[in-house]
Amino acid sequence: MKLGKSELKENMVIQITGSKSISNRLLILENLFKNIRIGNLSNSQDTQLLKKALSENTETVDIHHAGTAMRFLTSYYSIIDGKTTVLTGSKRMKERPIGYLVNALRDLGAEIEYLENEGFPPLKITGKKIVKTAVDVPAHISSQFITSLLLIAGKLENGLEIHLVGEITSRSYIEMTLDILTKAGIQNNFTGNTIKVEPFAGDPSGIIDYEVESDWSSASYFYSFAALGRKTIHLKSFYRESTQGDSAIAAIYKEFFGINTTFTEEEHKVTLEPVQAFIFPEKIVLDMNNCPDIAQTLCVTAAALHIPFEISGLGTLRVKETDRLLALYHELKKLGTETEITDSTIASVSFSEPQNDISIKTYQDHRMAMSFAPFCLIQELNIEDEAVVEKSYPTFWEDLHSLLTE
């Protein structure tokens, strides 16, 4: 995707698809309890793959690159009594660890085998009735592992108590899951490091309508456009009281880039309005442990504006669609930004002029493509393998071009 040096149009309105994170959670609950009707379901590839897997009665399920689907379906198939499922995915998926989740499910009595490498997909899952009521889980692991257990907990005969051992990572995503469980009629409690989920005791014939809020992770790229282009952008459909951890983008971009967010409640619209003559900070120091998926967006924005940054809490980025910290290290160089990375941090070292012919590698990672796109307001660039955006935001390039005057 060749992006010429562009400017933003003023006051454009973008309708973003439903949150992938919320949609995927609801699909599992819809299939387990049959009492949820979903509106504004995400049109992302990940969500469509999960929906397809849940609707087909096949022995082998291939979820390709969809990491959320792999994690959620591992628990889901574990409790479908009498059904044997081989759960597999792409070459990269087979390199993404799933051992912590499998260990927890085995501790509860699930029957799961590794078919190739210990600790990694593909998995052979033999569904059975689970009656154990408690499990210990390391608190630092991906919140999706914990959410996977929480989504099946209300279906278990005795519910489930999860003891999180150590410091919790991405707490906001766990709280989002619990909020969804509550709205689905599943009682739960999160006190200290212990989560207790009661067995579902509601009316299975009572239908709950759930309108999915649009995706704040996808919104982050437009915050970057607003920060670099200093023009007002309107986004729909968002709520002031969001449970999505990535809604932190609003506060972050207000503090560091002077982008005010205002909500129009009746239209479920947010307006991103740049503060004119904003004085940028001398340095950005931020722990993004609760919102690591928007770190790439922030790093590119800061790099484009030559604002030094030091971002921590990014350990989970190492095991995403690609090693996102390493990918950032290589691709930010093309923008003239040298960085240092560790297992969980990235920090700028120096800034210089960008390369003349910038071509951004995406490493099969949708967020690499979209987070670097706003740099076209600074200089023309090429985004390789642009189709990767289908994973979370299939209409991104169409929406982008509606914003730009090249």
The residues annotated as belonging to the active site are 293
**Peptide bond preceding 122 in cis form (omega within 30 of 0):** yes
Instruction: Decide: 339 and 361 in contact? Cβ < 8 Å.
Output: no
**CA 2 to centroid of chain Cα atoms:** 26
First to last CA, the chain: 14
Quote the CA–CA distance of 72 and 84 in Å, as a whole number. 16
Residue 318: how many CB atoms within 10 A of its CB?
14
Instruction: Decide: 183 and 210 in contact? Cβ < 8 Å.
Output: yes
Quote the CA–CA distance of 80 and 181 in Å, as a whole number. 20
For residue 376, give the H/E element and its range.
none
Closest CA to 251 of 213, 308, 291: 291
Residue type, 91: K
Residue 341: how many CB atoms within 10 A of its CB?
18
Quote the CA–CA distance of 359 and 90 in Å, as a whole number. 25
Instruction: Decide: 261 and 242 in contact? Cβ < 8 Å.
Output: no
Q: Which residue has the tokens 């499998």?
A: 102
Instruction: Sort 319 into a burial class: Cβ within 10 Å, 0-12 / 13-18 / 19+.
Output: middle
Quote the CA–CA distance of 147 and 173 in Å, as a whole number. 8
Q: Which residue has the tokens 């006190």?
A: 191
Instruction: Decide: 316 and 96 in contact? Cβ < 8 Å.
Output: no
Closest CA to 313 of 299, 328, 292, 332: 292
Closest CA to 377 of 403, 347, 353, 338: 403
Pair of tokens at residue 404: 């730009």
Q: Which residue has the tokens 């410091």?
A: 167
